Every structure is written in C-alpha cells, then in structure tokens.
Amino acid sequence: MAQRESRSGAGRTRRPTPAVGDEVRLAADVRNEYCRYEHAPGNERTREPVDGLVVAIREISSGQRVKVAAGDARRYVFDVMHNQTFDPRFSSKGNSQGASAGRVQDSQTFTRVQSALRERSGKSEQSADELLLNPPLSALLDGWRIIRVCASRVDVKEPAG
C-alpha cells in the first residue's frame, strides 16, 4: 500500500489555488455539491465545462469572504462570472468588445473586469453583487451571468501574474 501511495504522489504537480480575479474552469464531470445550487431534476442535458472569472469566494465554515481558496475547494462557495458574459454569441457588444466566439480573453472588457476584480479583492470583502453593482465594475458591464458553485475541483486556467 505504501508503494501505491508513493507512485500516485510521484509526478503530481500542485494545482494553482483559485483566487478572486482568476479565470477558472469547472470541468464537465464536476458536480455542484451544495444541493441548493444544483440544477433542478429533469433539466439534464449534455454537460460542458464552464469557464469564468472568480468574482467572490466565501468560506463555508465561517461565512467569511476570502481572496484565495486554500486547500479543499469543497470548503468554499465560488461566485463565477460565466465567460458567456463576454462572448459575442451570447452577450452585448459592450461586453464582448474585441472578442471572437470562444476567445473571450481577447475582449477588452474581459481584461478590464479581471484587472478590476484582482485590484478590488485586496481592498474589500464585498459580495459578488456588491462588486458588480458598484464602480468600477458597474461601469464596465451592462449585464453578467454569475454561477454560484461548491465543487470538489475548481481549476485555475491561468495563474495570477
């Protein structure tokens, strides 16, 4: 058994820890583990990965907002702004400015929102709603889609840099 554990640990790389402002991916096989956030029964369809920006993170045990989720992702609730917010197939011209379908990272608005989220994360413990409804974010977006999720795995697409 010890041999099995050492082999499974070998070659593993530590995944970056999700932080406010990071672009993350919820894989297609990841399930929302908090029953109130799960889809209604009978509403099943083909699952696809969900990509988006972390707007807020709340630690479940204390109810406190945090800037970075350390350890098991199931200890946190993530408010993720779905990338459809910036995709010209789903969103307004203002939100998708400069993006092509499937390449929302090219959007000027995506970059501005991500920068604003990272900047604001260190200055306040506002909820996602408070952040989005007040400047500077309220002036950047004319609509958004937030997904609230508690999941076993929230993968950072690109680490903060």
pLDDT per residue of the chain (161 residues) written in tens, 0 to 9: 444 444 444 445 566 889 999 999 998 888 777 666 555 444 455 578 999 999 999 999 998 999 999 989 999 999 999 999 999 899 888 888 888 877 888 888 999 999 999 988 766 667 788 888 888 888 999 889 999 999 999 999 975 55
Number of domains in the chain: 1
Residue type for position 68 = V
Predicted local distance difference test score (pLDDT) of residue 124:
60
CB 75 within 8 A of CB 59: yes
- Give the integer Cα–Cα distance in Å for 143 and 26: 22
User: Is the overall model pTM greater than 0.85, yes or no?
Assistant: no
- Give the integer Cα–Cα distance in Å for 69 and 84: 24
Length, in residues, of the chain: 161
User: What is the residue range of 21's domain?
Assistant: 2-158
Residue 147 φ then ψ, to 5°? -115, 125
